[in-house]
Structure 1
Amino acid sequence: MSRPREFDVDKVLSQSMEVFWTKGYKATSFEDLTNKTNVKKQSLYGVFEDKRSLFLKALALYRTQSLSQLREMIDQGGSPTRILDALQSASLCSSSEEAHRGCLMVNSAMEFGMDDREVANEFELMFSEVRLVLEEVIRNGQAGGEITNRFTSQELAAYLANTLRGIRILEKTGAPADQIEMVLNTAFDLIKN
């Protein structure tokens, strides 16, 4: 008869995600994970199998949380340009510590490249979903004359999604906040009428 689990799996997954986000996959040891979660290695293995499985679940959690925040911003309503303004504002990191962590998905994409198909699938899925959400907002803005029609909603969504990924790289590499803000201002202003 197996013993009942003595920890909150969701909480441990969230804490593990924070460790991977801060340190990266390869630099994270099981000791880092057990120290953060206060769960023994054997218990973590019992639920998550191994570090890689835990990492993949952490990436999926990050994707779900990020997309949920994006959807929440859109569901608050307002015109497409107001939604984009809110997204632009939310894209500015509030602290240098937050900025230097970057984005877990972008960090993972840079760490793994396309070498690990399951990891690549996670960030491809996230970037695709973000692009589709942006495309919906842009299409609505184009229909209302708020956003330029010089490019398709797909092209503009891909452009903004790439800009948002790019600023996370700038943040991670220590670019000044005013440079990041300038990139965001330019990207968002270029698509508005």
Structure 2
Amino acid sequence: MAGRPKIFNREEVLDKSIQLFWEKGYEQTSTVELLKAVQLNKGSLYNEFNSKEELFIEGLKQLETKALNAFEDKLKTSDQPLNEIKLLFKSIIDSNNEDNCKGCILGNTIMEFAGQNPQIVKEASFYIVKLELLFEEYIEKAKNNEQFSSEHSSKDIAQYLINFWNGINVSRRVYQEASVLENMINFHLTILD
């Protein structure tokens, strides 16, 4: 005899739960808040996801896989991939204050779990490293296509950019004025000129 059919969309549950985790942080998100956000009862939620941690990890994977795939698609189809990298950073300028206050979920996750949960830190770090590798790959392609030259290696520039990505996502929580963020971003992106 088959179990009861699912009456919810797993992807939607992951989207709603990770947005709540992003807004509040993992530890500050209660089960009651999760159940309200995803509109499920406790039994349904924990039959699908064995724990709050599993729900968080699966939601993080889904969110970041979608985001990185979309960014990689833009890089692949662009004649000017360095412009796509610049646009990623510049998208922060147009973010609303609510998004600015949330920062980057990957950086937030690493900071919240550092020294406490190596598995979750490893999951978040995976996506940061993947973004860095995309930067490196497309900077190298731009060099090979003679669209860009630098005395620095593509790897060094990619590491600089990922460090700046982490930094600007902290700074956007402090400096929410678009003009301040724009100045910071434009200054750091001169490395791609």
TM-score by length of 1: 0.91
Is residue 70 of structure 2 the alignment partner of residue 62 of structure 1?
Answer: no
In structure 2, C-alpha distance between the alignment counterparts of 1:53 and 1:37, rounded to whole Å: 15
Residue 7 of structure 2: SS of its match in structure 1? Answer: coil
Instruction: Quote the Cα distance in structure 2 between the aligned partners of 1:138 and 1:25.
Output: 35
The residue matched to 1:146 in structure 2 has which SS? coil
AA in 2 matched with 1:129: K
RMSD: 1.7
Percent identity of paired positions between Structure 1 and Structure 2:
27
In structure 1, what is the Cα distance between the partners aligned to 2:85 and 2:13?
Answer: 33
In structure 1, the partner of 2:173 is: 172
> Where do 4+ consecutive residues of structure 1 move more than 6 Å?
none
User: Within 5 A, what are the aligned runs for 1:9-28?
Assistant: 9-28=10-29
Partner of 1:150: 151
Contact 1:84 1:188 in 2 (8 A): no
Counterpart secondary structure, 1:149: coil
Give the whole-Å Cα distance in 1 for the aligned partners of 2:115 and 2:155: 24
Contact 2:20 2:29 in 1 (8 A): yes
For 1:135, the equivalent position in structure 2 comes to 136
Q: 1:160 is matched with which residue?
A: 161
Partner amino acid, structure 2, of 1:171: R
Q: CA deviation at 1:175?
A: 4.5
Tell me how far apart the structure 2 counterparts of residues 174 and 18 of structure 1 sit (CA, whole Å). Answer: 22
Q: Measure, in 2, the Cα distance between the counterparts of 1:3 and 1:114.
A: 40
Please give the alpha-carbon distance, in whole angstroms, between the structure 2 residues aligned to 1:19 and 1:76. 33
Aligned length: 192
Q: Is residue 108 of structure 2 the alignment partner of residue 107 of structure 1?
A: yes
Deviation, structure 1 residue 143: 2.3
TM-score (norm 2): 0.91
- One-letter identity of the residue aligned with 1:153: S
